[in-house]
Structure 1
């Protein structure tokens, strides 16, 4: 694989794999390369799937966007097989972080976040199995929304079977996030989502984060006017570990047959090979943790509208540092647990004092109450716009 010859659309910072036009005259949308578009191959960002036949039908999310009059104009790049957090892709080329080109874009929905951050499209649809919408959204300074598990149809998305994965939108505005959710989510109450939640009770989750991130999130909360009380989870680390166990098992189930063909990137070949050893006992333990952590979050939200915490515990590392061995695993420590529990989660960019960069603030809501989470995000966005 040769990183010097990207297979992407010139001038898009390796964010887009192709440009085309489907649908009406509404806002423009890019679709991640693990979601079917009829007549196009779905390659999952991988040379191992380069010969995939064209999809015979649109994924449900694609069909619903077209029915609602959106313009689908591009296919978005991604971390290979949606099995990584950096966004580095040596086959397609690595999407550029519009906040800081030296830093990682985040994955696996790297092209989706990059394209929105660079203004190439109004909205993109990505997928989030262990933070793969929220993490790149935070890296790239855009909004990313992971719906409640099962709220948005995954029909036509890969891997076909997942107990963690959710499809959801990226954008630079909450209005467009809400419009996209209303289009792809049957029964979504757009009016409720579009009423800014100026009065709310949130729980401020006690987590480890770098000082500049923690201060940015605290300042945004202070500006919100919401009531807040501190809350310390007991099962967060266990949920992070359990989520990784299930991702390894489910990704190997889906793509293990691609091992040994000489077509996978070195990082994916190594990770997928290691995932083969995920034991049934480890999976059973992960499911026990899922039950306990889900109940813990449900209980915390019984008397609060949302949990509030950073999306990432630190700013994204540079690509050079990653290539020299810097680990990124713990960057997903605050996002992956909520894939395990299935709660909806929203990442919103918030300013960092004295820096042109933005951090991510994450809101986690009650299962099925995606509209309420959008209303909270809309209020926060409006408050942040008024800050000096």
Structure 2
């Protein structure tokens, strides 16, 4: 497979000899995370004149301390504020396994680099599904740790109540290795044996629900039905809070001609979000977080699709409503802050789908153990 030049916006060879577990592993880092000696481009012309970074982000320091080789900066949807991966400024990566489908965003290059075999694992960010969505689109594994589990120091946006840094890989063992490198206190687990899953009711398409049920049946998993009545409200609240936070950081760029049309329009809309709307969204956050916590008292992890439908075709990437729908089942867990893992599977027709697991606060290792247990039941996974 020939490397797509739009996957990595810059190639590097950065690493050291630490005699640690991750020695020599090739890693790509999303281009909204600082690497000393390079410019953090964020997929945007607005950052073309940004100064070269003088220090590594905390996660980069952790990767280097673990002996990883950082081989490139991964492309992304502009300002990490889009879900398709389409980027007119830095190029749109092709989906390595499904070239007629979107690669997903905003961590598009990170997911594609893993799917194409360019790296052993990659680092992305997830504010509204931006690790789990491209992981599902590209048929790889992607973990959004719980909020605060991985330091965001040196990442853009500089402040966020939703954003998390996490890894992509082609198997769960590598997800565990990546987390051990970047998350203090994380211990790589063994595959879980006895566990109960709470199957969340969703409005996902029938073929997506069937793909998930096939995985659970193949594993003979102990599954209980779970209702999250605030799931839809949490999706809308997450949109509101992200819009307000992004507009506060980048609203000054609206109308400057330095942004893609989609991002310019999205930030302009965010400037209209008022304090009352944010207060209402924050109230939903409080209630939804409690709802998820209560559900997790009855099971070891929640399980639901990553995406409600198969990824959009490339020619549908401009469908704003279709793209927004793709975030329905991932964005709520940015709002609540719970760790969430996407496992790749396929529909009966061979199209990409994702199995999403959601764990308790601080339970990233246990969640990965359940992911390892389900790995062998995944249809068509790499």
The normalised TM-score by structure 2 is 0.95
Q: C-alpha distance in 2, partners of 1:13/1:354? A: 29
1:184 has 2:197 as partner: no
Q: C-alpha distance in 2, partners of 1:29/1:326? A: 33
Residue 359 of structure 2 corresponds to: 365
Offset, 1:115: 0.8
Q: C-alpha distance in 2, partners of 1:279/1:111? A: 34
Change (3 A) 1:336 1:324: closer
Change (3 A) 1:235 1:326: closer
Q: Of 143, 146, 157, which residue of structure 1 is paired with 2:144?
A: 146
Residue 118 of structure 1 corresponds to: 116
Offset, 1:162: 0.4
Q: C-alpha distance in 1, partners of 2:326/2:274? A: 25
Q: Of 346, 366, 382, which residue of structure 1 is paired with 2:376?
A: 382
Residue 238 of structure 1 corresponds to: 233
1:276 has 2:276 as partner: no
CA RMSD of aligned residues (A): 1.5
Q: SS where residue 328 of structure 1 aligns?
A: helix
User: How do 1:157-196 residues align onto structure 2 when only pairs under 5 Å count?
Assistant: 157-190=155-188, 193=189, 195-196=190-191
Residue 56 of structure 2 corresponds to: 58
Residue 327 of structure 2 corresponds to: 332
Residue 23 of structure 1 corresponds to: 15
Q: C-alpha distance in 2, partners of 1:269/1:79? A: 13
Residue 6 of structure 1 corresponds to: none
Q: SS where residue 343 of structure 2 aligns?
A: strand
Number of residues of Structure 1 aligned to a counterpart in Structure 2: 374
Residue 37 of structure 1 corresponds to: 35
Q: C-alpha distance in 1, partners of 2:178/2:28? A: 12
The normalised TM-score by structure 1 is 0.94
8 Å CA contact 1:41, 1:53 repeated in 2: yes
Gaps of at least 5 residues in structure 1 are: 1-9
- 1:194-219 Cα offsets, whole Å, 9 max, x none, are x1012100110000111211111001
Residue 323 of structure 1 corresponds to: 318
Q: SS where residue 27 of structure 2 aligns?
A: strand
Q: SS where residue 64 of structure 1 aligns?
A: helix
Q: SS where residue 59 of structure 2 aligns?
A: helix
8 Å CA contact 2:126, 2:163 repeated in 1: yes
Per mean C-alpha deviation after superposition, the further-off stretch among 230-239 and 290-299 is: 230-239
- 1:51-110 Cα offsets, whole Å, 9 max, x none, are 111111101110000000011000000000011111100000101111211111111001
Change (3 A) 1:240 1:137: same
Residue 74 of structure 2 corresponds to: 76
Q: C-alpha distance in 2, partners of 1:385/1:207? A: 21
Change (3 A) 1:316 1:114: same
Residue 132 of structure 2 corresponds to: 134
Per mean C-alpha deviation after superposition, the further-off stretch among 18-27 and 309-318 is: 18-27
Offset, 1:385: 7.9
Residue 222 of structure 2 corresponds to: 227
User: How do 1:77-92 residues align onto structure 2 when only pairs under 5 Å count?
Assistant: 77-92=75-90
Q: C-alpha distance in 2, partners of 1:376/1:13? A: 35
- 1:39-60 Cα offsets, whole Å, 9 max, x none, are 1111110001111111111011
Offset, 1:221: 0.8
